[in-house]
Structure 1
Amino acid sequence: MFNRKIGVILLVALAAGLGLLAAQWFFGGKSAGAQWPETQAVTMFAKPRPLPAFSLRQSDGTQLTSGELNGHWTVVFLGFTSCPDVCPTTLAELAQAQKQWQALPDGTRPRVLFVSVDPERDTPTRIGEYAHGFSTETLAATADVPALEEFARALGFVFMKVPGAHYAENPQDYSMDHSANLAVIDPQGRMAGMIRPPFQPRAIASDLTALTKATAP
């Protein structure tokens, strides 16, 4: 029988495999590559990696496609609204960072994108209400499972549905295991770095502010 322990083991194995690939993108230190300012929380890649085309459904019902992230630094977090601990904690920490970069111009201000990997329960309306409870500026989106898997894979992330003890009797008895790292997307829509927990809002805000100023037109 599939249980949570097996799910966690599989998730760790998948993450480890992707971690080996991700290691090829890094070049030592927090700020890899001379084109970036020194960072504290963000591990920058030596060379930003273009993302394949994607399309997600935003909380307002519109589509979020690749090009719409251009012009801003974007922090991407995968989660789900029924998450008991990691998701609300992370979104609360990111909301603290958002307050600290609020003074930056709207046209270049960093964004936070929350992507639900639980489309079975998380409607666009629900994810919008959830994310905006932490910050009204947070973008919230989801998609069907194949599209979410492709998007997560492009970021080097994984997620998995983990049935609970009573899943056979109650199909709603399940959780979602998912990567806890944050992806950092540059103004050209390329994956440029990653933030690993534990998260430090002040350091994240400082890094994204510096990156925004360094790449402002």
Structure 2
Amino acid sequence: MFNRNIGIILAIALAAGLGLVLAQKVFGPSSKGTNGTSSIIFYGTPRTLPEFDLAQSDGTRLIPGELHGHWSLVFLGFTACPDVCPTTLAELAQAQKQWQAIPDSLRPRVVLVSVDPERDTPSKLGEYAHAFHKDTLAATADIPSLERFATALGMVFQKVPGKHFEQNPSDYSMDHSSSIAVLDPKGRLAGLIRPPFNPQAIASDLTKLTENTAP
């Protein structure tokens, strides 16, 4: 999977490097987040995502249009992740608490997409995500669908067998991109947030974005 998608990812990264700009219409040239800078790096032009269909933990489908009307943060992970995933979800939960007063119809969404469908059923994934924050959405799919979705976000993942994998097929981990994809209220890929993450800056930026795009 890595070899098949790496050329596409490099092309996306190159385009991003050429086209990344701050969102001047929203933040302005001198506007800063609470950590002294905007937490989000915006693409010059939002990118329409190809069709996708993921299974959510509540039994519904995550499809194009499902997130319309909200700014959304999408993060790849898995429940057996030892460090990056729980740390990121805890930081995002801090941001979610800060925008809790925004009406649900406009409130930013946080979406955890598991890249380990072999071990992460939708219900298990939902329990894991909701342990950090009740509003976090959780979804997964089969590997080919996840590969297409991750590639569309400019992200990658791969299975990494452990030393006892041959005797125990469950002895593996998942390497995956650690950045957070930012989708605009039309469901387009608008930018990304790179680690390390600052919850206060993320909350400030998403609140401002929501206020500036509210009907």
TM-score by length of 1: 0.89
Instruction: State the shift of 1:23 in Å.
Output: 3.7
Q: Which residue of 2 aligns with 1:25?
A: 16
1:56 to 48, 54, 58: 54
Superposition pairs of residues 72-91 of structure 1, within 5 angstroms? 72-91=70-89
Of 23, 43, 46 in structure 2, the residue corresponding to residue 45 of structure 1 is: 43
For structure 1, the residue ranges without an aligned partner over 5 or more in a row are 1-6
The AA in structure 1 aligned to 2:95 is: A
Structure-2 residue corresponding to 1:180: 178
For residues 18 and 201 of structure 1, the distance between their equivalents in structure 2, rounded to whole angstroms, comes to: 27
Distance 1:148 1:19, change over 3 A: same
Return the letter of the residue paired with 2:15.
Q
Aligned positions of 1:131-210 closer than 5 A: 131-210=129-208
Query: After the TM superposition, which segments of 4 or more aligned residues of structure 1 sit over 3 Å from their partners?
Result: 25-29
Match of 2:94 among 93, 96, 111: 96
Q: Report the 3-state secondary structure (helix = DSSP H, G, I; strand = E; otherwise coil) of the residue aligned with 1:136.
A: coil
SS of 1:60's equivalent in the other structure is: coil
SS in 1 for 2:196: coil
Q: Partners in 1 of 2:27 and 2:63 — Cα distance? A: 28
State the one-letter code of the partner of 1:132.
H
Residue equivalent to 1:107: 105
Deviations 1:93-133 (A, max 9, x none): 00000001111111111000000000000001100000000
2:54 aligned partner, one-letter code: L
Q: 1:19 to 1:104 in 2, by over 3 A?
A: farther
Name the CA distance, whole Å, in 1 between partners of 2:14 and 2:195: 17
Cα distance per residue 1:179-214 (max 9 Å; x no partner): 000000000010001000000000000110111111
Q: Is the 8 A contact 1:51 1:191 kept in 2?
A: yes
How far, CA to CA, are the matches of 1:192 and 1:50 in structure 2?
Answer: 9
1:61 and 1:90 map into 2 onto residues whose CA distance is 25
TM-aligned CA deviation for residue 176 of structure 1: 0.2
Counterpart contact for 1:113–1:140, Cα < 8 Å = yes
Q: Which amino acid in structure 2 is aligned with residue 75 of structure 1? A: L
TM norm structure 2: 0.90
2 CA distance for matches of 1:207 and 1:127? 27
Q: Quote the Cα distance in structure 1 between the aligned partners of 2:157 and 2:57.
A: 21
Shift of 1:25: 3.4
Paired position in structure 1 for 2:212:
214
CA RMSD, aligned part only?
A: 1.9
C-alpha separation between the residues in 2 aligned to 1:190 and 1:101?
21
Going from structure 1 to structure 2, the CA distance change for 1:125 and 1:23 (only over 3 Å counts) comes to same
Task: Measure the CA separation in 2 of the matches of 1:57 and 1:212.
Answer: 26
1:36 to 26, 34, 41: 26
Kindly indicate whether the alpha-carbon contact (under 8 Å) linking 2:20 and 2:42 is maintained by their aligned counterparts in 1.
no
